[in-house]
């Protein structure tokens, strides 16, 4: 696979020599063409695959060859890069970009590499010089040649790397043919055939049957590995596109687990910026809430569609989400009757966004302006999600009012449930702090499987009783001798994490305080939900600006206060709902929790500035027509650059030189005539040997001045140095004739051996 040898480069004034190290051999005939055909089949692009295969394999049927220099290969590589950049710019002009659009762009990489591949295929010498990919390396090699120094010219044959690139990108076509669960069987079969073909032709000295068996076993293993890689890539870029790089909202649509907020709180990165404009400043911005605890996981159960809270006709989107009402460009309403009212609380949320991302919002929000998405949806838990995002940043205004109803639905008996395994620990803790449990026969639902009966409904908790429960829990959790806030826990019990927190560890982060508060209040009969979002803690440099970092991610409880339980029957189905109350935020995490966060690194200020600049730039570019004009200008510049590179590539290509070595020597200039004179006496200069080295070994010992003059002339020939060189040549000839000295020994070919 690696070949090392000596060859003579193209002739110049110094008749230089080069040592070539060639990495990787060429793949067998037709293998690359078959790979392109395989790619075309997987992407339903048979014509493109056939054309590429014909171009690549055409070198075996035509005699056309070019003598490409290092500059020619470099320009072929630049052409490939420019094609990639132009393709990306054209893609960015597409409306409603999605992750699989970029995946499809990457799948065309083998075709974007065709200029470089074809330069290799139709070059006189197979392989691409390694200096092709480095401008600095090309400059150094040129300087060495000019100085007459030996150049170690490494090259690589791109056949096998391109083969693997084609195989990998062919798998990216699977997503356009079928969903990943029913992956097209043509892909693994094609990979097995191509890899088996490649492995078998690497070495044909072994027994053919054994070679085929080993080749196919290895190729099957490699195909399984590649198939796994394709599935992971597809899953990450296409399915996982709803995520947003670790933000709290990426996993908060249907469930969350204890510990995920803690991971965010270790981050100093800015997730959002909130600008308050009117009304009282909120303490919290909500992302989502959950009503069903399962061990260390909270999930959002969907509404019961048979009851009054079913999604209105025309607003159903998917699952538990319903669409908000459009009220103009990028504007959405939860309730149409509140569209023209004055709102008592207003603020703007600003940040980088992705598709299917949750929006931090105010309590009792109703109007959303400047949301850059086709659809805005909300579920029964009050989580707001963007669908069809068409730009990378958002500066949206959110309007709310205390007189507007919450977007989330009133609680059901499910908002009183807790895991049965946690019941004893909850009851013991409540008794220790002096709270009386609800009487038997009028208790809330305990196990998730248990339903409240038709007659024995949940207890109605008065506002005064709720305040008593909240006060005692707050007093207990804020006692530093009993409980401690910490981001680093040693607990491992996933079945009863709240009991372990209350009775054993007595330390934890906001998720444990919020989870314990929710379950303890539920055991006391208060319907509540586990909520996540951000706490407003850090002021920004602008007026009324609040910075929302990862460390400001927070968990708290939403309790429903002052309601009355009603059994809303639907046939034989009994469902208890609490009506007439209101949702209030209950945050019993020790208030000094923000002071325990780790300090910011020294470079955080610069990072924050760059993040703000990136958002501002994104917003400016997405103003009407600005982004399109910039893209059109970049495309125009790219096309002109493409034409220029193609023109320079045509200028630097040369046909294969058919001159003999003797003719090339005659064209060398400088010492061409003297070299012929010496060659008649000692034999021709070896093709790999620099002129200076050959002269030192051939001419009389007393004539080293000629070599020095020659080397000086290489760097800058003028009339004076030319005369000195000519005089020295005459002296050497006279000394040679006088001494009648012929150094070295001729072999049958007339080449001197030293």
Could you report the per-residue pLDDT of 240-249, keeping only the tens digit for each?
Answer: 433 333 343 3
What pLDDT band is residue 207 in, cutting at 50, 70 and 90? very low
Residue 360 near residue 287 (C-beta atoms within 8 A): yes
Q: Tokens for 116, please give them.
A: 């470089």
| Residues whose CB falls within 8 Å of the CB of residue 700, separated by 6 or more in sequence, listed in order | 732, 735, 736, 739, 741
- pLDDT, tens digit, 9 for 90 and up, residues 656-687: 444 443 444 344 455 777 777 877 777 777 76
Q: Is residue 641 predicted with pLDDT exceeding 50? A: yes
List Cβ<8 Å contacts ≥24 apart for 427-436. Answer: 427/523, 428/503, 429/502, 429/503, 429/520, 430/520, 430/523, 430/524, 433/472, 433/473, 433/475, 433/476, 434/472, 435/468, 435/469, 435/472, 435/524
| Residues whose CB falls within 8 Å of the CB of residue 12, separated by 6 or more in sequence, listed in order | 145, 668
Q: What is the pLDDT of residue 685?
A: 78
Q: Tokens for 8, please give them.
A: 């003579």
Q: Tokens for 736, please give them.
A: 């040679």
Q: Tokens for 83, please give them.
A: 């094609």
Residue 321 parent element (H or E): strand 321-323
Calpha distance 11→124 (Å, rounded): 15
Calpha distance 680→687 (Å, rounded): 16
Where do the CATH 3.10.620 domains begin and end in the chain? Answer: 413-533+551-594
10 Å CB burial of residue 375 (0-12, 13-18, 19+) is middle
Q: Tokens for 89, please give them.
A: 């710019």
Mapped onto helix, strand or coil, the DSSP state of residue 738 is helix
- pTM for the structure as a whole: 0.57
Distance from the Cα of residue 240 to its chain's centroid: 11
Mean pLDDT computed over 31-36:
90
Calpha distance 574→565 (Å, rounded): 12
Q: What is the pLDDT of residue 256?
A: 64
Q: What is the pLDDT of residue 669?
A: 53
Share of the chain above pLDDT 90, in %: 14
When mean pLDDT is compared over 141-145, 264-268, 669-673, the highest value belongs to 141-145
Q: Is residue 754 predicted with pLDDT exceeding 70? A: no
CA R_g for the chain? 38
Q: Is residue 752 predicted with pLDDT exceeding 50? A: no
- Fold of the CATH domain 413-533+551-594: C8orf32 fold (3.10.620)
Mean pLDDT computed over 635-654:
69
- pLDDT, tens digit, 9 for 90 and up, residues 706-734: 777 776 666 554 545 555 667 777 777 77
- pLDDT, tens digit, 9 for 90 and up, residues 122-137: 887 778 888 888 888 8
Q: Is residue 9 predicted with pLDDT exceeding 50? A: no
| 3-state helix/strand/coil string of 573-622 | ECCEEEECCEEEEECCCCHHHHHHCCCCCCCHHHHHHHHHHHHHHHHHHC
Q: Is residue 254 predicted with pLDDT exceeding 70? A: no
Q: Is residue 424 predicted with pLDDT exceeding 60? A: yes
**Range name among 239-243, 272-276, 458-462, 639-643 with the lowest pLDDT average:** 239-243
Calpha distance 754→742 (Å, rounded): 13
Calpha distance 106→112 (Å, rounded): 10
Q: What is the pLDDT of residue 522?
A: 92
What pLDDT band is residue 216 in, cutting at 50, 70 and 90? low
- pLDDT, tens digit, 9 for 90 and up, residues 305-347: 666 677 777 787 777 888 888 888 889 998 877 667 788 999 9
First to last CA, the chain: 31
| 3-state helix/strand/coil string of 373-418 | EEEEEECCCCCEEEEEECCCEEEEEEEECCCCCCCCCCCEHHHHCC
Q: Tokens for 676, please give them.
A: 């012929």
Q: What is the pLDDT of residue 597?
A: 65
Calpha distance 669→674 (Å, rounded): 10
Q: What is the pLDDT of residue 517?
A: 94
Mean pLDDT computed over 349-366:
88
| 3-state helix/strand/coil string of 3-50 | EEEEECCCCCCCCCCEEEEEECCCCCCCHHHHHHHHHHHHCCCHHHHH
Mean pLDDT of the chain, nearest integer:
75
What pLDDT band is residue 198 in, cutting at 50, 70 and 90? confident
Residue 433 near residue 472 (C-beta atoms within 8 A): yes
Q: What is the pLDDT of residue 215?
A: 63
Alpha-carbon separation of residue 571 from 306, 307, 417, 449, 575 (angstroms): 10, 10, 24, 20, 11
Calpha distance 475→633 (Å, rounded): 64
- pLDDT, tens digit, 9 for 90 and up, residues 368-406: 999 988 889 998 888 999 988 878 889 999 999 988 888
Q: Which residues pair with 585 in a beta bridge?
A: 558
């Amino acid at each position: 696979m690696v070949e090392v040898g000596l060859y003579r480069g193209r002739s110049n004034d110094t008749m230089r020599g080069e040592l070539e190290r060639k990495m990787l051999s060429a793949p067998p005939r037709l293998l690359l063409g078959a790979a392109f055909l395989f790619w075309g089949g997987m992407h339903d692009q048979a014509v493109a695959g056939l054309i590429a295969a014909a171009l690549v394999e055409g070198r075996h049927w035509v005699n056309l060859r070019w003598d490409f220099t290092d500059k020619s290969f470099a320009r072929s590589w630049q052409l490939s890069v420019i094609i990639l950049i132009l393709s990306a710019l054209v893609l960015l002009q597409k409306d409603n970009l999605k992750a699989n659009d970029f995946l499809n762009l990457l799948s065309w990489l083998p075709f974007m590499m065709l200029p470089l591949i074809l330069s290799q295929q139709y070059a006189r010498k197979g392989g691409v010089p390694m200096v092709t990919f480095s401008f600095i390396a090309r400059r150094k090699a040129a300087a060495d040649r000019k100085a007459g120094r030996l150049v170690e010219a490494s090259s690589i044959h791109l056949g096998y790397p391109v083969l693997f690139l084609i195989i990998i990108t062919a798998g990216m076509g699977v997503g356009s043919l079928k969903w990943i669960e029913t992956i097209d069987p043509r892909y693994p079969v094609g990979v097995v055939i191509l890899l088996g073909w490649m492995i078998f032709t690497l070495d044909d000295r072994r027994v053919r049957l054994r070679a085929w068996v080993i080749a196919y076993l290895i190729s099957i293993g490699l195909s399984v590995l590649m198939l796994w890689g394709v599935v992971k890539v597809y899953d990450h870029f296409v399915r996982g596109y709803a995520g947003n790089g670790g933000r709290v909202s990426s996993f908060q649509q249907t469930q969350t687990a204890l510990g995920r907020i803690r991971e965010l709180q270790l981050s100093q990165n800015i997730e959002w910026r909130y600008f308050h404009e009117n009304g009282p400043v909120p303490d919290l911005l909500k992302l989502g809430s959950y009503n069903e605890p399962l061990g260390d996981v909270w999930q959002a159960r969907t509404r019961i569609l048979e009851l009054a809270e079913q999604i209105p006709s025309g607003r159903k989107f998917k699952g538990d989400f319903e669409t908000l009402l459009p009220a103009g460009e990028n504007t959405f309403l939860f309730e149409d009757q509140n569209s023209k009212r004055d709102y008592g609380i207003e603020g703007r949320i600003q940040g980088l966004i992705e598709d299917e991302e949750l929006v931090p919002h105010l309590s009792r929000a109703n109007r959303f302006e400047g949301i850059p998405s086709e659809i805005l949806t909300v579920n029964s838990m009050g989580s707001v999600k963007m669908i069809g995002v068409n730009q990378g940043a958002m500066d949206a205004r959110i309007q709310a009012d205390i007189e507007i109803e919450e977007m989330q639905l009133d609680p059901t008996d499910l908002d009183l449930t807790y895991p049965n395994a946690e019941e004893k620990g909850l009851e013991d803790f409540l008794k220790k702090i002096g709270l009386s449990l609800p009487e038997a026969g009028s208790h809330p639902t305990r196990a998730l499987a248990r339903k409240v009966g038709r007659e024995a409904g949940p207890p109605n908790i008065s506002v005064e009783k709720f305040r008593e429960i909240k006060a005692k829990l707050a007093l207990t959790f804020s006692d530093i001798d009993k409980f401690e806030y910490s981001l680093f826990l040693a607990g491992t019990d996933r079945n009863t994490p709240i009991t372990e927190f209350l009775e054993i560890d007595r330390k934890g982060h906001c998720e444990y305080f919020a989870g314990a508060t929710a379950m303890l209040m539920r055991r006391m009969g208060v319907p509540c939900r586990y909520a996540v979002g951000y706490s407003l803690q850090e002021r920004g440099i602008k007026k009324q600006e609040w910075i929302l970092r990862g460390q400001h991610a927070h968990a708290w409880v939403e309790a429903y206060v002052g309601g009355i339980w009603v059994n809303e029957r639907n046939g034989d189905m009994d469902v208890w709902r609490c009506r007439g109350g209101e949702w209030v935020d209950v945050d019993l995490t020790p208030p000094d929790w923000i002071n325990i966060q780790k300090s910011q690194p020294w470079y955080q200020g610069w990072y924050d500035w760059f993040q703000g600049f990136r958002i501002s730039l994104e917003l400016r570019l997405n103003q009407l027509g600005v982004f399109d004009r910039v893209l059109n200008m970049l495309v125009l510049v790219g096309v002109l650059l493409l034409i220029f590179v193609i023109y320079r590539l045509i200028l630097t290509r040369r046909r294969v030189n058919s001159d003999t070595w003797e003719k090339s020597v005659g064209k060398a200039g400088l010492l061409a005539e003297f070299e012929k004179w010496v060659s008649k006496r000692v034999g021709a200069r070896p093709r790999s040997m620099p002129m200076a080295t050959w002269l030192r070994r051939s001419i009389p010992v007393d004539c080293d001045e000629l070599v020095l003059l020659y080397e000086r002339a290489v760097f800058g020939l003028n009339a004076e140095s030319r005369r000195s060189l000519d005089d020295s040549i005459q002296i050497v000839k006279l000394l040679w004739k006088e001494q009648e000295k012929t150094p070295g020994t001729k072999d049958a070919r007339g080449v001197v051996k030293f």
